[in-house]
Structure 1
Amino acid sequence: MKPIYQIGFYILLLFGSLGCKQKDSTSTSTVDTNPVSNQKVERVEPPNWWIGFHNTHLQLLVKEPNIGEATVKIIYPGVTIKKVHSAHSPNYLFLDLHIAPETEAGVFDIVFTYPSGTEKKHTYELKARLKKPEDYVGFDSSDAVYLITPDRFANAETSNDVVAGLKEATIDRSKDYARHGGDIAGIIAHLDYISDMGFTAIWPSPLLTNDMPQWSYHGYAMTDFYEVDPRFGSLEDYKRLADETRKKGIKLIMDQVANHCGLEHWWMKDLPFKNWVNYQKDFENKEPTTFSNHRRTANQDSYASVADKEGMANGWFVSSMPDLNQRNPFMGNYLVQNSIWWIETLGLGGIRQDTYPYPDKQFMSEWAGAIMEEYPNFSIVGEEWSYNPLLIGYWQEGANNRDGYDSNLTSTMDFAMQQAVADALKEPENWNTGLVKIYEGLANDFYYASPKDIMVFPDNHDMDRVFTRLNEDVPNTKMALATFLTLPRIPQIYYGTEVLMENTDKPGDHGLIRTDFPGGWEEDEVNAFTGQGLSVAQKDMQRFLKKFLNYRKDSRAIHDGKTVHFGPFMGTYFLFRIMDDETVVLILNKNETPITIDLKRYAEIGLAGKKLKNIVTNETIYWGDDIQLAEKGPLVLTTKFQ
């Protein structure tokens, strides 16, 4: 693991690249007998911190008109000002503090004194940590993750549907790209449903403020990294979500974005440095946006030109999302500390990092390393939208990369397997098409540092619903889900998959892909939470997934077992997960008419003469000389009867 993010090293870099000045400051350990002022300047971020971190450095961003002129004083035992940095904008200061190991939790004033003698104070708090670092346990192969688009899941608090002062101030459920009103309270209200379905973790897409004029519902154009979007709720609501998930044994994964912010982010009106965002001069001169070239292979390509590498990392994702310059050390520290702040504030069970290959890749290694240094049992999954296993594996901690790159990232996303399963189920069977795509796709696991720690999924918020992609074929959809839940992976299921949600009328339409969950609004005639109004097929799929997920919760064979699979045979594919006395058998059958399969070719698994149970129907079968497969679809068996 790489050393923790070193503020001092980057400050040294800064003197040469940014020309910042160190300002006079005063710090003493003498106890101040005066009570704190409870005053605030415009912004101090992080808004609070904690004692007891491995890394004793803290860098505060301070924003206040002409604060760059001020000297700074802190009087609090154990807190020392190491350096004060002015920025290019006169309205910022950056304070490097040392928090000694013996420092106690408490509040103190940061005193800013202007040349005129005027003082401004800001009361700051250091909190005691509520959990030991090792108690922050992330997600792993024992979990099943439920991905939620909060605006489209459930609206339990209508009073926050419209918030005065925000740029997108209406809701309209008839429009795919408008806000629909779902909120944090809606997720909390349905945690019993999520738990009963068998999910052990939830990943809501970002809940932070997106004060953008349009398409603000999706959350990925953040305009404040420390504020919960009031249309979703408050920070206290987010904390309540974290608390309630913990009570139910559900882990909360936070969707974070280090690559970009929203164009309406508060700092875009007054950027602290001349290189706070990439292509900043173009932005300030109102020149056309320079977009990313999206050449993600440039991160690994030993032949890649400098132009391609820079075009990938520095270009803006879209015109409404400025590309953050993580090579600016103050930006880098800001992003690292923001992630840690949210982990501590919410007691997170993991982070999903958006657009992982797009930021500066060395920074991302330091970012993940800083987090894992503080939380050794934590989990971070990065989005690498690639169908090439070599690119997917490159980003995982422990990869044997020829260039020596170490990502410190516990997990990445398996778009390659997602595509392989979809193709396998849609294609006719041949020697190199159909189910062989799954067989050969899984064979690529030899390359991954830890296959079972990779996240796999049938679909997500950025791609067609799996039911649509599989041409609304229910048996194929069941086979896809059964495969993802049995593989040595961490499975993620998108909300509504359990009731066959689709976007068939508009393939590729993101607004429709993120459609409203039936029953999340009082006026809904169909309610998937209760089953009211669901079709027979929808109820059947919901039961199927619920049975499978709840079996999977306690299946050590699926979590950590040995994997054995056999080449596809007569339109079928057999995969086995084995641990101790538990063997789980996945059989995929693409045949439209009944078929009998000779089981002697699977003799090495040692199931001959044993009794097995169908985990969905609870029916018992005996593993004899052959097996009759009556219909197209998946069959999942187990030797475990309790």
Structure 2
Amino acid sequence: MKKQLFLFCTSFVFFLASCEKKETQVSTNDNKRTVKEVYEVDRVEPPNWWVGFENSQVQLLIKHPNIGKAELTIEYPGVVIEKLHKAKSPNYLFVDLNISNKTKPGTFDLIFKLENGEEKIHTYELKAREKEADKYVGFNSSDVIYLITPDRYVNGNPNNDIFEDLNEKKINRKDDYARHGGDITGITNHLDYIADMGFTAIWSSPLLINDMKQGSYHGYAMTDYYKVDPRFGTLDEYRKLADEGRKRGIKLIMDQVANHCGLYHWWMKDLPFEDWLNYQKNYEDNIEDWNWKKTKFSNHRRTANQDVYASEIDKEGLTDGWFVEAMPDLNQRNPYMATYIIQNSIWWIETLGLGGIRQDTYPYPDKEFMAKWAGAIMKEYPNFNIVGEEWSYNPLLIGYWQQGKVNKDGYNSNLRSSMDFAMQSLVVQALNEEESWDKGLVKIYEGLANDFAYYNPKDIMVFPDNHDMSRIFTQLKGDVHKTKMALSYYLMMPRTPQIYYGTEILMDDFKKPGDHGLIRTDFPGGWDGDAVNAFTGKGLTAAQKDMQMFLKKLLNYRKSSKAMHDGKTIHFAPRGGLYVLFRMYEDEVVAIILNKSDRTSVSTEMMKEIGIKGKKVKNIITDEEMIWEGELKINPKGVTLLTTKRN
């Protein structure tokens, strides 16, 4: 009897489990629905959406064997199927949905009837937006951004270091190009350090999965645009990083890539259209048999975007060529790809509550698409910000991409910020030139004078270095004083500054300047057993501690300085190895004096137009006070930072 009862109960449990997989309970009396989650379709992207967007449409990518010929039904108030689009591959279906502004959050079933009569169900959710669109405030000139390579920052959870089902399994901190184990939890655990240093935003290089066979640590070869790399953590941990950062006044900037994906992206084994990628005709079903000899790589002629004389072959060579052989080039002229990329960006903004996007390799994708992409985001989030990577030393090329710039070809990017590689380089050149003090400093002076090329200079992002170039301490040949001069100037300019992790402790790449693996060295103290710990100060040299405190003092002053955020800028042409720049906002005046000479004082007479004669000023770093008149005490061969602000 007990055996029969056990068999009955077991069968009943399996029966209930089977029913739960298929059962859909619906109550529409008050537009509330109870739908048990069912996922019988391989992939639906975006995996969820929200009600209340300006754009009422969303396009779903459905991936499942022979789904292309399926019929689809949806029964949910306010949701209408506008059109079904078949792809070249029978395993894709693109579905245009319209979501009215009266639609309520909830879940509903996508019910697919396949050609063979089989039925597949996928439960889909429309979420309520957590905050209003204008509450998504992007980074701006009041922020200082801390750039982190997450694999090299802190290993907060050693349990997620290795996943046997991924292509790259090894952890080897002795190999600069292997994974080292840094993760999202590591960043979250050290948000207090970042906030105490005075940073107000974090830009992390990509955290989405890179299931590549090698070099997966850097993150720029995504193999799934909706999945966090499990070696970095989970989506919940990513969300926690954003939430905990906001509690500390830190915005989260997401590094995104619209130009290319990773060679092992899930769709590479079954591309939906013949033009999903650029130069796709060279593609073979087996990724390993890709005909590399026929693949065309980018010519990297970034000026082709602005050049009124550019040939069509040069334009095509820039946008259609692959960046590197491991990163297939996405064709944004395919309308389904275009929509996919736009929706993916919006999905991440909404999911994480982002404070900005940094878009990689900005000049390489189709530029008309990039304007559409940025415009779609800014339409939904009017106070948001996006910075595009334009690696150019010509201010005319940098300024071309900034929203509001009147370009000869009529192009408007809808982009607020671009990256200032021009001033980054000029500051280094100026400080390294020894033959003539003024000659070097004039490069900075005249470089800043090029700001007339920018629609809004303070929205341009400037930086001493980043994850793709030698560290600033290396560029300045290991000179601590010049490094302080450079950092101070980048932070004083009418710009939005970014600092790379480790700059605060003079990290370098002297052993092999420019080597990417070395540039992205582990942050000391991020791993158990590290002999040096930059978070606590253990093992740091006197010079490293001094630089850390110098930058901390300056960053925390800048955090509340209206003059440095939004102030008027006046600078004086270099004289005798001295260059002086002022930022002014109401009663606050901040001065930076770069001194390449041995002089220990400067006459205030030539700067009388600033109007602070006789006023008390304070050294931002040392807190020493003095009166602004006559000869003013300054640091020889270094930087002096002064303010009229009292606290």
Flag structure 2 segments of 5+ consecutive residues without an equivalent. 1-27, 285-289
The alpha-carbon deviation at position 330 of structure 1 amounts to: 0.2
Aligned partner of 2:231: which letter? R
- Give SS of 1:517's match: coil
After superposition, what is the alpha-carbon deviation per residue over 1:353-411, rounded to whole angstroms, capped at 9, x for unaligned?
00000000000000000000000000000000000000000000001101000000010
Alpha-carbon distance in 2 for matches of 1:271, 1:111 = 24
Aligned partner of 2:107: which letter? V
Alpha-carbon distance in 1 for matches of 2:310, 2:35 = 59
Write out aligned runs for 1:118-137 (5 A). Answer: 118-137=118-137
Write out aligned runs for 1:383-398 (5 A). Answer: 383-398=389-404
The alpha-carbon deviation at position 608 of structure 1 amounts to: 1.4
Number of the residue aligned with 1:63: 63
Write out aligned runs for 1:343-382 (5 A). Answer: 343-382=349-388
Of residues 569, 594, 614 in structure 2, which corresponds to 1:588? 594
The alpha-carbon deviation at position 594 of structure 1 amounts to: 3.5
Aligned partner of 1:292: which letter? S
Number of the residue aligned with 1:12: none
Number of the residue aligned with 1:17: none
The alpha-carbon deviation at position 114 of structure 1 amounts to: 1.2
Alpha-carbon distance in 2 for matches of 1:504, 1:182 = 23
1:517 aligns with 2:523: yes
The alpha-carbon deviation at position 286 of structure 1 amounts to: 2.4
Aligned partner of 1:447: which letter? A
Alpha-carbon distance in 1 for matches of 2:328, 2:34 = 44
1:623 aligns with 2:628: yes
Contact 2:358 2:389 in 1 (8 A): yes
Identical positions, percent = 66
Number of the residue aligned with 2:72: 72
Number of the residue aligned with 2:190: 190
1:475 aligns with 2:481: yes
Alpha-carbon distance in 2 for matches of 1:497, 1:40 = 49
The alpha-carbon deviation at position 282 of structure 1 amounts to: 1.2
Number of the residue aligned with 2:258: 258
Alpha-carbon distance in 1 for matches of 2:500, 2:437 = 32
Contact 2:390 2:419 in 1 (8 A): yes
1:434 aligns with 2:445: no
Alpha-carbon distance in 1 for matches of 2:326, 2:263 = 5
Number of the residue aligned with 2:463: 457
- Give SS of 1:62's match: strand
Alpha-carbon distance in 1 for matches of 2:244, 2:36 = 34
Write out aligned runs for 1:221-260 (5 A). Answer: 221-260=221-260
After superposition, what is the alpha-carbon deviation per residue over 1:118-153, rounded to whole angstroms, capped at 9, x for unaligned?
100100000000100000000000000000000000
Aligned partner of 1:634: which letter? V
Number of the residue aligned with 1:613: 618
After superposition, what is the alpha-carbon deviation per residue over 1:253-274, rounded to whole angstroms, capped at 9, x for unaligned?
0000000000000001110000
> Alpha carbon RMSD of aligned pairs, Å?
1.3
After superposition, what is the alpha-carbon deviation per residue over 1:514-540, rounded to whole angstroms, capped at 9, x for unaligned?
000000001101000000000000000
Of residues 314, 333, 348 in structure 2, which corresponds to 1:327? 333
Contact 1:36 1:109 in 2 (8 A): no
- Give SS of 2:274's match: coil
Number of the residue aligned with 2:19: none
Number of the residue aligned with 2:16: none
The alpha-carbon deviation at position 621 of structure 1 amounts to: 1.5
Contact 2:445 2:573 in 1 (8 A): yes
Alpha-carbon distance in 2 for matches of 1:623, 1:157 = 53
Aligned partner of 1:535: which letter? T
Flag structure 1 segments of 5+ consecutive residues without an equivalent. 1-28
Alpha-carbon distance in 2 for matches of 1:34, 1:342 = 26
Alpha-carbon distance in 2 for matches of 1:296, 1:534 = 42
1:116 aligns with 2:116: yes
- Give SS of 2:126's match: strand
- Give SS of 1:462's match: coil
Contact 2:292 2:325 in 1 (8 A): no
Residues 91-100 or 109-118, more deviating: 109-118
The alpha-carbon deviation at position 631 of structure 1 amounts to: 2.3
The alpha-carbon deviation at position 39 of structure 1 amounts to: 2.5
The alpha-carbon deviation at position 595 of structure 1 amounts to: 3.7
Alpha-carbon distance in 1 for matches of 2:208, 2:627 = 53
Alpha-carbon distance in 1 for matches of 2:599, 2:439 = 22
Write out aligned runs for 1:212-223 (5 A). Answer: 212-223=212-223
- Give SS of 2:338's match: helix
The alpha-carbon deviation at position 457 of structure 1 amounts to: 0.1
When residues 33 and 390 of structure 1 are mapped into structure 2, their CA distance, relative to the original with a 3 A threshold, is closer
Residues 114-123 or 495-504, more deviating: 114-123
The alpha-carbon deviation at position 623 of structure 1 amounts to: 1.2
Contact 1:352 1:380 in 2 (8 A): yes
Contact 1:459 1:466 in 2 (8 A): yes
Write out aligned runs for 1:493-504 (5 A). Answer: 493-504=499-510
The alpha-carbon deviation at position 432 of structure 1 amounts to: 7.2
Alpha-carbon distance in 2 for matches of 1:411, 1:120 = 45
Alpha-carbon distance in 2 for matches of 1:327, 1:303 = 23
Alpha-carbon distance in 2 for matches of 1:429, 1:595 = 20
Contact 1:37 1:121 in 2 (8 A): no
Number of the residue aligned with 2:582: 576
Write out aligned runs for 1:160-179 (5 A). Answer: 160-179=160-179
Number of the residue aligned with 2:425: 419
1:507 aligns with 2:513: yes
Q: Which has the larger radius of gyration?
A: 2
Of residues 374, 390, 410 in structure 1, which corresponds to 2:416? 410
- Give SS of 2:429's match: helix
1:598 aligns with 2:603: yes
- Give SS of 1:41's match: coil
Number of the residue aligned with 2:646: 641
Number of the residue aligned with 1:87: 87
Contact 1:417 1:441 in 2 (8 A): yes
Alpha-carbon distance in 2 for matches of 1:234, 1:34 = 27
Alpha-carbon distance in 2 for matches of 1:578, 1:366 = 37
Aligned partner of 2:291: which letter? K
- Give SS of 1:385's match: coil
Residues 392-401 or 424-433, more deviating: 424-433
Aligned partner of 1:599: which letter? T
- Give SS of 2:85's match: strand
The alpha-carbon deviation at position 630 of structure 1 amounts to: 4.3
The alpha-carbon deviation at position 115 of structure 1 amounts to: 2.1
1:204 aligns with 2:204: yes
Aligned partner of 1:368: which letter? A
Number of the residue aligned with 1:24: none
Query: Normalised by the size of structure 2, how large is the TM-score?
Result: 0.93
When residues 201 and 33 of structure 1 are mapped into structure 2, their CA distance, relative to the original with a 3 A threshold, is closer
Contact 2:464 2:490 in 1 (8 A): yes
When residues 470 and 136 of structure 1 are mapped into structure 2, their CA distance, relative to the original with a 3 A threshold, is same
When residues 306 and 605 of structure 1 are mapped into structure 2, their CA distance, relative to the original with a 3 A threshold, is same
Alpha-carbon distance in 2 for matches of 1:220, 1:39 = 30
Of residues 290, 295, 301 in structure 2, which corresponds to 1:295? 301
Contact 1:195 1:250 in 2 (8 A): yes
Alpha-carbon distance in 1 for matches of 2:92, 2:115 = 16
Alpha-carbon distance in 2 for matches of 1:287, 1:71 = 40
Alpha-carbon distance in 1 for matches of 2:338, 2:55 = 15
After superposition, what is the alpha-carbon deviation per residue over 1:545-590, rounded to whole angstroms, capped at 9, x for unaligned?
0000000000001101000000011111100001110000000011
Aligned partner of 1:76: which letter? Y
After superposition, what is the alpha-carbon deviation per residue over 1:299-340, rounded to whole angstroms, capped at 9, x for unaligned?
000000000000000000000000000000000000000000
- Give SS of 1:434's match: helix
